[in-house]
Structure formats: structure tokens, C-alpha cells
Amino acid sequence: MASSRHKALVLDLWTRNPIDPPNSIKALLGGSFVFLDNDRFMGVAGNNGEKSAVVQFPSGATIYNNLVIGGSDLEAVAHGDHVLLRPIKDHPVGIFDLRQNKIVLASKRAAIDVWDDNYIAERLDGDLLVLQLSTVKPLEHAQLPDAPLGKLHADALSPDLNWLAISQSTRGAVWNVLTGQRLYHVRAFSAAYFGTDGNMYADFPKYLSTERALARASLTNPDIQMARPIDNTKRTIQVGRYLVTSIAAKDDDPLNDIRVELWDVMDQKVVWSRNLPYERPGIDADSRANSLVLYWPANSKAVKSIAKEDSEAAGLLSRYKDKDGILLVQVFDLDSGKQRAELAVDTGKRSFRILQAIATADRLALATDTEEQKRVLVYTLDGELKTTITGHALELAAKTDLLTVKTERGELELYDLSTAQKRATYSFNSAVAFDGFSGDGKRLLVLTSDQVVYVLDPSAKDTAKAVASK
């Protein structure tokens, strides 16, 4: 069965012939609808879902009527006289009892199913529980085996490699790397930072009725407190120790005439701010490299304005007669806002887009995406392209001029930025999920998708002897 605003189709898949259903079924096709089982059909009807019904299929005989569903989407359960409503107020899912005509359970976890009077749900730690629906009494428990890590949405690593935090789309965790102990198992966060004060600071997005906030989590004992709310109407990202906020002069024009503001999550104060008239630039920041990179198209109003007051920028751009695909790039120290360098980058008529930009004292590394492959382009700060590396997920150690990229095969390659030469290729039993350098750049931590942590010595010439610990 399929329905659009003006037309509905009911098809017998065995005969491939259309069916003309009775009016009692047609009346339920205006909103969400679902087959509850082989011969029961349910649909949302009424201005506020107050005339929803369950009917026999294909006869259309009424089983339950005048069900007060509201505007939720319907989802069938495994068995019984219940249906799932997604979402409901303040919760991603609710269990609706068809016999009682009401929601009997609201769940903060989206993964849930019902069999008659029992339901199965996921705990915060990922384990499964079977519970009695009427009493919420646990009946059975199952601990699932560790699954391979998928895509990571956020990560953080302490400079001494003692603490690691990662987050996927629904939940995150914090580990003591030395002991393997998981200190926190929390809902998803979008960024994190291990402070020198013995706390982790993490940006938790809005979830249900809980607003977005920066949280402070103690590393000595499990204790999470809100450090400050984050205004979701402003473009704010956490970059290590800092929050970078882009504030538009006009609320209805967020891409022009903005002020970039850096806020310290530990000291609770604004570190610096900078006005950027005209177009909003591309902005990339990396706390471990103390790098802030801004870039604009050369033919933008912003660059034309910069060139009028900046003779060095004007000189860089004068080398190109055709400025289509040319970018003006400015590199700053993240912690002070002091400009480190300025250069022009030729994208080859926009043949690639920048995914990530990180600068050291004398190099700029751009992780790029083309139609064919992902590459990392390494430039000197006077604009000379030194090397092109095939790979993605750029990580950089500014103090030792080392760079890593992941390959499509799931391996990790190590490069020397000063010589633009590959130093090592690391292969593991499963693909690399995360890697990061220590604060001094002398050690490299790798987390693989089978949830094993390795600490490598990047100076070792023999990769077989590079594993310092596991």
C-alpha cells in the first residue's frame, strides 16, 4: 500500500493486481499507516489524529476506532494489540495500547519492540532487557558482544594519552587508557576536551527537552555538571579547549558580516574576537596544532576588501589572471588570534573541496575530496604545493612535523611533513577507527574498529617494533 496527497495504491503482490479497498480503509490513508499483521491495518485520521482506527484487511471491518494518536508516525510491533508511536512529547517513542486507547509507556531509547504484554528495550550501556509492560519488571537480560565501531562523530585524547573519549551518533564513552576502565557511558556528544584541571569538557547537543550545553565531567569520580548553556541560534563549535562562535550582524543573514569569537571553556571568558565583513569564510580549527584557518574565494567581496588594505594579499592574488577557483587562505594561532601566514591556493577550477585544514609553523595541510578520491595536499606557508597524499582523516603532530592519514584499505600511513616522505604503514587486525598523537608528538595512539587500543612509537624504523603497548 502506498499513498500520496492525491492518490493511493493498494496492490496484491501475488497477482500484481490493484485492489479497490473499502471507504473505511481509504479514510485511513491521509497520514501515517501500517499493517499490524497479515489481516489488520491501522491508519491515522482526524484533524489531530483523534479518529485513528484499526480495521480488518481487506474487508475494512472496524476492530478499534476513535483512537487518539495525535501526529505521531505508526510502527507495528512484533505481536499483540499495541503499536509504536514515533515520536511523542519529550520522547523518541511511545507504546500505545489499542485496547486501552492510550500510551502506556514512553521510552528515551529509540530501540524497542513489544510481544503481547512484554517489551524489549535497550539500556544505556547497550545491554537488552525484556520487561513486563504493566509493571516494568525485568524478566530477562542479555549482554550483547562488542560490535565493531562504526563512524565516529567526535573524539578527544589527552596530551599524555591517558584518557580517550569517543562518540557515535547515539552514545559516547570515556576510558582510562592505562587501566582500560570505562569511566563514563553517556549519550552522544559532538566534541570534547581533556582539561589540565582534571575534568573533561564536552558539547552535548539538544536532546528531547534537554537543551544544548557544555558539560564538565570529573576524571577522578563519575560526576557530570553543566558548565554553561550553548545558544543553538548561534553557529558554535567546540574546538578542544575553546568554543568558536560565528555571530552574524543580522539574524536573517548568517553568512555575511560576522564576528568570530573564541571562548575558553576552562577560564569561562572570551579570549579574542575578530570582525569579518562581507562573506563568511570557510573556518577550520584544530586545538592540538593551535591552528585556525580561514579561507575565501578570491573573487569574493571579502577578499577584494582585504586586498585593498593588505598589500601582501593583493600581491598573492595578482599572480592569477583568472581567479576562478583561487582561495585566499589566512592562518592564525588559535589561542591568541595572531595571524601566522597568508597564502593563495589554486583548487583547479574548484576540482576539489576542503574537508579539513590544519597548519603548523611552516606547513598547511588540506584534507580534500574530489570526484575520484580523498587526498591530503601539503603546502608551505608561502603557497608552494610540496606533496599530495592519497588518504583521509588527517591527524597532525605540530611539534614533530608528523602526519597520519587513513587509507581506503583501513591502514594508517605516517608521513614526515618536513620531507614530504612516507615513513611507515601500519596494518592492524581491523580498520583504524581513530588515531591521535601525544602532546609532544613522540607517541601515536590508535583505536581500531574491534575496540583495541595501540600506542605506537612513530620514530621506530621497523613497524613491527613500533607497538609500545596494547
The answer to whether the beta carbons of residues 200 and 227 sit under 8 Å apart is no
pLDDT at 357 over 90: yes
**Which one-letter DSSP state was computed for residue 154?**
E
pLDDT at 105 over 80: yes
Tell me the average pLDDT across 26-51. 94
Per-residue model confidence as pLDDT tens digits over 198-215: 999 999 998 877 899 999
Check: CATH 2.40.10 for 394-470?
Answer: yes
What's the pLDDT score for residue 464?
A: 61
DSSP E strand stretches across 190-309: 191-194, 199-204, 213-218, 224-229, 235-239, 242-250, 253-264, 269-279, 282-286, 291-297
What's the pLDDT score for residue 465?
A: 63
- Name residue 172's beta-bridge partners: 167, 186
How high does pLDDT run on average in the chain? 92
pLDDT at 306 over 70: yes
Write down the pTM of the prediction: 0.80
Centroid of chain to Cα 136: 33
Check: CATH 2.40.128 for 2-142?
Answer: yes
Which residue type sits at 206?
K
Tell me the average pLDDT across 384-406. 94
Provide the edge-to-edge strand list for the sheet that holds 412-416. Answer: 392-397, 402-406, 412-416, 421-426
Three-class DSSP labels, 411-461: CEEEEECCCCEEEEEECCCCCEEEEEECCCCCCEEEEECCCCEEEECCCCC
What's the pLDDT score for residue 339?
A: 95
Per-residue model confidence as pLDDT tens digits over 410-430: 899 999 998 889 999 999 999
Residue 407 to residue 470: CA distance in whole angstroms:
22
What's the pLDDT score for residue 461?
A: 79
- Which residue ranges make up each domain of the chain? 2-142, 148-231, 394-470
What's the pLDDT score for residue 330?
A: 96
Exposure b/e, 385-413, CB count within 10 A at least 16 = b: eebebebbbbbbbbebbbbbbbbeeeebb
Centroid of chain to Cα 198: 25
What's the pLDDT score for residue 344?
A: 96
What's the pLDDT score for residue 361?
A: 92
pLDDT confidence band for 249 (50 / 70 / 90): confident
